[in-house]
Amino acid sequence: MGSKALLIYGYMKFFEILDREIEKLGFEYSRRKVTYYNPKTYSGEITLHHKDEELSWQNEYRILIAPTNNQPISVNLPGLKKISHVVNSIDLEKMRIEIT
């Protein structure tokens, strides 16, 4: 973990901005909470949104963007400063975040 974290408190607006800006760039994308599964018993389709249940403590959400031709991309996120705040990562453990 880095020394800083971005706390997004307007997450619905964040997704609205993100979706719009990725679409403007002409990329396909998918985003969702990772599904954790038991590799010994799971028999369904496994996608990039799946992960071994041993890692479920990570409580991960993934945003996949394609095609990027294995090159980095930049996505402009206008308005991000209005719905987020930079915090020290060490302070995250002390924070109580309530989603309503």
pLDDT per residue of the chain (100 residues) written in tens, 0 to 9 = 689 999 898 889 999 999 999 999 999 999 999 999 999 999 999 999 999 999 999 989 999 999 888 889 999 999 999 999 999 998 888 887 776 6
Q: Residue 28 phi/psi, 5° resolution? A: -90, 155
Q: How far is CA 80 from CA 29, 34, 59, in A?
A: 20, 24, 23
Number of other residues whose CB lies within 10 A of the CB of residue 10: 14
Model pTM score: 0.77
Kindly state the tokens that stand for 47. 């996608």
Residue 45 contacts residue 77 (beta carbons within 8 Å): no
